[in-house]
Amino acid sequence: MSHSNLNAFCLTFNPSLQKAVAENEQRAILGKAPMLCTLDAAYGEGSAVLWIIPQLHDLCATVGAKTKLDDIQLKQLAQMIRNEFGNYKATELMLFFWRLKGGHYGEFYGSVDIQRIMRALRWKFSEERVKVIDDYNGQLEDRERIERAKNALKPDEIDALRKRLQQEGKI
């Protein structure tokens, strides 16, 4: 494991970047940031968990709950996130944490709740993520359809081609 490279990644993708990431939802979800599983592959097993923990610390420090997660709970939650969402990009999780801190997925009543965080990530954020991906894919299909229409023969061109092929005895 290259700790210096992981440290550089963690410094670049630190919690203070969440606001900037959240300003472009499509880029956060469709961009080229590495997935959690890629962090582990590139920097060694457990690297994604080491990156997630400061994101969780920031969450705990930001929300108004009286009871925060202790170090064991933080590590377990980071492991749960890595295990279940290893194919999510770092920027996607940063977008999720920004929204979670802002109350987008509800409030924390008295304590930061692991199950509430996992439910929000699993159901609400994942649904938003799929919608962005589907919308983008639909836009691509629309562009391809328009491009095909631009290159398609016009009715008068079809008639001229049909006449020429008939004259040549090909149809």
pLDDT of residue 1: 46
d(CA 152, CA 148): 6
* Phi, psi values for residue 144, rounded to 5°: -65, -40
Contact 29, 95 (CB under 8 A): yes
Q: What ranges in 1-69 are assigned the alpha helix state H?
A: 3-12, 18-22, 25-30, 36-43, 47-62
Using CA atoms, how far apart are residues 157 and 94, in angstroms rounded to an integer? 53
3-state helix, strand, coil in the chain (%, to 5): 75, 0, 25
Domain ranges in the chain are: 3-167
Q: What is the tens place of the pLDDT at every residue in 87-144?
A: 999 999 999 999 999 999 988 888 899 999 999 999 999 999 999 998 888 766 656 6
The 3-state DSSP class for residue 80 equals helix
Q: Give the global pTM.
A: 0.80
